[in-house]
């Protein structure tokens, strides 16, 4: 911190002694006076925000599993490693019998022959394990582009408060009707460029719907192509990868499609469950109010 000194110096006579002392420490041509800050109590630097560079995180760092990272980066080598170990063991046994002068024919009375046979068995087991590891590889998971048409179908008699709650889902069947269908949907079989209609009655008679209503639990089809119930959801794009069927009380179900195999995480399933409960509360209130109005009209 710098302070500018006055250009014209006028001091009282009683201050001449102090000025003389200052002149001993400051150059005569100095135009600025540097003031030293007096040390003040401060918190430890480890908890001061100004002690770390801007934008640099100084908190605890996540631990990394170096072994797991190395295995993931060298997947091919790790899978073939048992073959190398088994092959090397076979060569080592043959080399040992050659240089040790032992007869190539195994002799059951010889301890060396019994040890070699055991080693050969373990080596062959390693080779076979390596071949199995190489033949079984996880199928790569990729995101697909849904093949269908854009769809946004909502019953016109629903109030805005209920519609705002429904816009989370793809298809909602409630009280025997498909009250909403949005997002990507399969093309209509009539080839008119429209989305395939949801046949609520047919869906409600299927095993998927009945199982969900009876169990009152969410059903997650992580790989839809492996489930025979896929035929009960013809309104979804044919390349839909995963589906969540969320019960809405005992009167309906929400169908949410995904574009990735096992694409819905545990967190996704949890918040879909909560949203299903909220949708059920909103729709149940609407259905009850509609029933009361119909009774009053009658």
pLDDT in tens, the chain (298 residues): 343 444 444 444 444 544 454 455 445 544 444 444 455 444 444 434 444 444 454 545 656 778 878 877 888 888 888 999 988 988 888 888 788 776 666 566 677 777 888 888 888 999 999 899 888 877 777 777 777 788 888 888 888 877 766 665 688 999 889 988 888 888 887 767 788 889 999 999 999 999 999 999 999 999 998 898 889 999 998 889 999 999 998 889 999 988 889 888 899 899 899 999 998 998 888 877 766 545 545 4
Neighbour count for residue 199 (Cβ, 10 Å) = 15
Q: Note the pTM of the prediction, 2 decimals.
A: 0.54
What are 213-249's pLDDT values in tens digits? Answer: 999 999 999 999 889 888 999 999 888 999 999 999 8
Give me the residue label for tokens 């599993």: 65
Give me the residue label for tokens 């195994």: 106
pLDDT (0 to 100) of residue 62: 59
Give me the residue label for tokens 């001061």: 48
pLDDT (0 to 100) of residue 105: 64
How far apart CA 52 and CA 61 sit, in angstroms, is 15
Residue 178 · residue 198 · CB < 8 Å: yes
CA dist 214 to 7, 57, 224, 252, Å? Answer: 94, 51, 21, 11
For 241, residues 6+ apart whose C-beta sits below 8 A from its C-beta are: 144, 223, 224, 225, 258, 259, 260, 261, 263
How far apart CA 30 and CA 39 sit, in angstroms, is 25
């Amino acid at each position: 911190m710098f302070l500018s000194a006055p250009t014209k110096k006028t001091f009282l006579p009683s201050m001449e002694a102090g000025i003389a002392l200052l002149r001993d420490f400051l150059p005569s041509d100095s135009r600025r006076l540097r003031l030293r800050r007096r040390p003040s109590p401060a918190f430890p630097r480890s908890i001061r925000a100004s002690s770390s560079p801007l934008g640099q995180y100084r908190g605890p760092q996540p631990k990394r599993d170096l072994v797991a990272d190395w295995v993931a980066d060298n997947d091919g080598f790790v899978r073939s490693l048992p073959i190398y170990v088994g092959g090397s063991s076979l060569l080592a046994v043959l080399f040992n019998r050659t240089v040790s002068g032992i007869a190539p024919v195994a002799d059951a009375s010889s301890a060396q022959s019994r040890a070699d046979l055991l080693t050969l068995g373990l080596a062959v087991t390693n080779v076979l394990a390596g071949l199995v590891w190489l033949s079984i590889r996880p199928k790569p998971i990729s995101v697909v582009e849904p093949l269908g048409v854009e769809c946004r179908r909502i019953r016109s008699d629903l109030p805005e408060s209920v519609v705002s709650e429904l816009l989370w889902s793809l298809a909602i069947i409630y009280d025997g009707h498909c009250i909403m269908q949005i997002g990507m949907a399969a093309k209509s079989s009539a080839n008119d460029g429209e989305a395939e209609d949801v046949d609520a009655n047919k869906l409600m008679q299927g095993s998927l719907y009945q199982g969900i209503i009876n169990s009152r639990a969410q059903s997650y089809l992580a790989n839809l192509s492996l489930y025979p119930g896929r035929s009960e959801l013809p309104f979804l794009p044919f390349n839909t990868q995963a589906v969540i069927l969320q019960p809405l009380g005992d009167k309906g179900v929400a169908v949410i499609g995904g574009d990735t195999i096992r694409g819905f995480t545990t967190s996704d399933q949890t918040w879909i469950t909560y949203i299903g409960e909220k949708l059920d509360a909103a729709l149940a209130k609407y259905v009850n109010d509609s029933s009361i109005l119909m009774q009053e009209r009658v």
